[in-house]
Amino acid sequence: MSNRFVIAGPASQALAVQVGNILKVPVVETEAKKFPDGENYVRLNAEDEARFKDSEMIIIQTVDFPQNDHLMELFYLISIARRVGAKRIPVVVPYLAYSRQDKVFRPGEAISARLLLKLVEAAGATDFITVDIHAPEIFSEVRIPCHNLDPMPLLANHLKGRELVSPVVISPDKGSRDRSKKFADLLGAELVLFDKTRDRITGEIEMVGDVKLDGKDVAIADDIIATGGTMATALKIAKKAGARHLYALCTHALLIGNAQYKLGSIGCEIVGTNATSSPVSVVSVAPIIADHFKTA
């Protein structure tokens, strides 16, 4: 589509500029603030609304912390695009908060992730594009096309310059086996499978992994590092098993509370993507988002 714009949501400004530069399309700035009563406000920084008529407005807005503010901004941006007459409104949400609430784990819960996707559709999005979502199963409840982009080649490339010695990729739990297998193949590494159980009430983790890693370099690539508990538990087992260097990679670095300390004190390097904003978000997902639109 020739009449195309990238809308830089307040939560993904740098990423939106990178995508706009790769695609060579104009990037529209947005302004966001909160009213004294806590309500969200967002507007396109554009006086001439008529230029958006019949265009494609690619909205890029991640939904990381503060997630409820970023969600409201996202809904309002979609509604603005609709109001100004955009023909297509693809919505890029590199990280969708609540994505781990993808099913009922305990009676009485909401399936928040599924509801959010329905709200994105109801607001007027014509396509939903995300990166390494926790449970792609949530796509089944909406009619708009959904795309889950794979950042593992980008993360693997990041490690390739490190001259890894006898690299081993550890899959910390059942949910990450496919991702870990792909990551191990990309690195040409051996794959080791651990098992994890999490107490649904306390959040406490138990992990089983029996392995010998003397002198080997170990990488774990997960979708999310939240409290760091999953990574820290797996990396401690790897360290005890003799691993040389430890790498904790993820698509979505949330790094809640003392996660950085927890992982740093084990002696690992943490690497994340700019699907979320964090001090370790060093790998840009702009190339895979731009590639999606080059072929779309």
Q: Does 224 bind ligand R5P (CB under 6 A)?
A: yes
Q: Using the rule CB under 6 A, is 131 a contact of ligand R5P?
A: no
Least distance between ligand R5P and beta carbon 149 (Å): 17
87 is catalytic: no
Interaction between residue 273 and ligand R5P (CB under 6 A): no
- Helical packing angle, 152-160 and 177-187, nearest 10°: 40
> Which runs of E-coded beta strand occur in the chain?
4-8, 27-28, 30-34, 40-44, 56-60, 90-93, 127-131, 146-149, 168-171, 190-193, 195-198, 205-208, 218-225, 246-253, 268-273, 281-283
Token pair belonging to 295 = 């072929």
Q: How far is the CB of 108 from ligand R5P (least distance, A)?
A: 21
Angle of the 67-83 helix axis to the 112-123 helix axis, nearest 10: 20
| Position among 227, 244, 260, 264 found at the interface with ligand R5P (CB under 6 A) | 227
Q: Work out how close the CB of 224 gets to ligand R5P at its nearest, in angstroms, rounded to a whole number.
A: 4
Which region among 4-12, 38-46, 225-233, 277-285 touches ligand R5P (by CB under 6 A)? 225-233
Tell the smallest beta-carbon distance from residue 132 to ligand R5P (Å). 10
Q: Least distance (Å) from ligand R5P to the CB of residue 249?
A: 12
254 vs 163: CA distance, rounded Å: 28
Q: Which is nearer to ligand R5P, 202 or 295 (CB)?
A: 202
* SS3 call for 251: strand
By the rule CB under 6 A, 175 interacts with ligand R5P: yes
Nearer to ligand R5P, 18 or 230 (CB): 230
Out of 9, 94, 228, 272, name the contact with ligand R5P by CB under 6 A.
228
Cα angle vertex 261, ends 193, 245, to 5°?
45
Q: Which of 107, 114, 119 lies closest to 137 in space, CA to CA?
A: 114
Please identify which of the residues 196, 236, 239, 262 carries the catalytic annotation. 196
Interface segment toward ligand R5P; rule CB under 6 A; list 107-115, 227-235, 238-246, 263-271? 227-235
32 and 70 Cβ atoms separated by less than 8 Å = no
> Coil, strand, or helix at residue 238?
helix
Show Cβ contacts of residue 161 under 8 Å, excluding neighbours closer than 6 positions. none
User: Which residues lie near ligand R5P (CB under 6 A)?
Assistant: 100, 173, 175-176, 222-230
Which residues are tagged catalytic? Answer: 196
